[in-house]
C-alpha cells in the first residue's frame, strides 16, 4: 500500500487560510487557493477555531440575495 505524503502547514498557508475563512470563502475555494484537499483545509480551520459556511447556508444566502434583487 502506498504511503500518503502530507505537507506541513507553513505560516503563510495558515495566514491565508484565516483570511479566506474570515472573508466567507467556501471550503472548495479555500482548498483550491491553498492547493490542498478539502478535508485537510476543514481540519486545519477547525483546529484554528475558524469555519467555512456550509452548502445549505451558502444557498440560503444566495436565495436571499435573489429575492432582494427581484
How far is it, in rounded angstroms, from Cα 27 to Cα 41? 7
What is d(CA 30, CA 9) in angstroms, rounded to the nearest whole number? 14
| Residue 70 CA: distances (Å) to CA of 24, 36, 50, 56, 62 | 24, 38, 33, 21, 13
**Total-model pTM:** 0.76
pLDDT of residue 23: 92
Total Cβ atoms within 10 A of residue 30: 23
pLDDT in the model for residue 38: 92
- pLDDT tens for each residue of 18-67: 999 999 898 999 999 999 999 999 999 999 999 888 878 888 888 888 88
pLDDT tens profile 8-17 = 999 999 999 9
Amino acid at each position: 500500500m502506498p504511503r500518503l505524503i502530507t505537507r506541513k502547514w507553513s505560516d503563510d498557508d495558515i495566514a491565508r487560510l484565516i483570511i479566506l475563512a474570515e472573508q466567507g470563502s467556501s471550503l472548495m475555494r479555500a482548498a483550491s487557493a491553498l492547493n490542498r484537499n478539502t478535508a485537510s483545509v476543514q481540519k486545519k480551520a477547525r483546529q484554528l477555531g475558524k469555519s467555512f459556511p456550509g452548502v445549505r447556508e451558502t444557498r440560503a444566502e444566495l436565495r436571499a440575495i435573489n429575492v432582494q434583487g427581484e
